[in-house]
């Protein structure tokens, strides 16, 4: 879809968007240099990244702030509603179901799935917890295209396989396993403990 943009640039676009949204109502224009200074990045890089969007910088004044925000939101699909599900309603899954930040990116959490009968039929922050035995049916009926995996590691790959079969396009995986998915689906593995250990090794 956005095949012309390097992944590293794409990953920085939400960073710009978050920063720009923090700016007060008095700010009408912003230059790539000001963004770069605020975020501790190089100005050329910022300008290159923003050039992938439809935003047009103007000589001397920079970007119109509202236009730049709109261009980033458009590029990141924030205005296209996408349904997402959280697989595994343990501590992490429940925390994510309660997290309000998905809406900023047009992501609507529609359900959680779990295999615990004491959780099934209940809800977290208004999102129903459905039986993971009905995962395939639920994902299809709810039109889920994004999923976050928060199940124990031994179930993670089989859950991912089922999600892909049901047409899920993007998976964020918190189980400490490297999940393999076929082309047409993208996965990112976030092993929190490993991340922290690696950061420590780098310091």
Residues that bind a second copy (CB under 8 A): 1-2, 7, 10-11, 13-15, 18-19, 39-40, 75-78, 82, 84, 90-92, 94-96, 98-99, 101-102, 104-107, 145-146, 148, 153, 169-172, 176-178, 180, 184-203
The sign of the dihedral angle between the CA atoms of 119, 81, 55, 63 is negative
151: helix, coil or strand? coil
The residue (of 60 and 154) whose beta carbon lies closer to a second copy is: 154
Q: Beginning with the edge strand found earlier in the chain, give each strand of the sheet holding 123-124 in spatial order.
A: 123-124, 127-131, 107-114, 82-87, 144-149, 170-173, 186-189
- Cα separation of 131 and 139, whole Å? 11
Nearest-approach distance from CB 26 to a second copy, in angstroms: 18
The least CB distance from residue 146 to a second copy, in Å, is 5
Q: Minimum distance between the CB of residue 62 and a second copy, rounded to whole angstroms?
A: 20
Choice between 120 and 175, CB closer to a second copy? 175
CB of 141 to a second copy, least distance (A): 20
Nearer to a second copy, 22 or 59 (CB): 22
- Residue 157 Cβ vs a second copy, minimum distance, rounded to whole Å: 11
Cβ-based nearer residue to a second copy, 96 or 130: 96
SS3 at position 170: strand
Q: Which one, 61 or 196, has the nearer CB to a second copy?
A: 196
User: 């920063």: which residue's tokens?
Assistant: 19
Q: Residue-wise over 79-99: b if at least 16 C-beta within 10 A, else e?
A: eeebbbbbbbbeebbbebbee
Q: How far is the CB of 153 from a second copy (least distance, A)?
A: 8
Judged by CB, which is closer to a second copy: 18, or 56?
18
Taken in order 191, 153, 112, 10, the sign of the CA dihedral is: positive
Tokens of 4: 């012309």
């Amino acid at each position: 879809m956005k095949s012309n943009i390097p992944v590293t640039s794409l990953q920085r676009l939400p960073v710009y968007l978050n920063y720009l949204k923090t700016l007060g109502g008095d700010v009408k224009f912003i230059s790539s240099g000001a963004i770069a200074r605020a975020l501790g990045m190089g100005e050329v890089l910022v300008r290159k990244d923003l050039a992938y969007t439809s935003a047009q910088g103007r000589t001397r004044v920079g970007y119109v702030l509202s236009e730049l925000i709109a261009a980033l939101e458009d590029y990141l699909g924030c205005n296209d509603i996408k349904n997402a599900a959280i697989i595994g309603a343990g501590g992490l899954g429940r925390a994510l179901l309660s997290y309000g930040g998905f809406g900023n990116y047009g992501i609507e959490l529609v359900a959680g799935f779990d295999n615990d009968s004491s959780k099934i039929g209940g809800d977290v922050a208004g999102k129903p917890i459905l039986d993971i035995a009905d995962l395939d049916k639920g994902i299809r009926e709810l039109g889920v295209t994004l999923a976050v995996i928060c199940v124990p590691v031994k179930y993670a790959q089989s859950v991912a396989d089922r999600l892909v079969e049901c047409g899920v396009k993007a998976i964020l995986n918190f189980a400490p396993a490297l999940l393999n998915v076929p082309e047409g689906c993208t996965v990112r593995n976030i092993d929190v403990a490993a991340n922290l250990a690696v950061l420590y090794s780098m310091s």
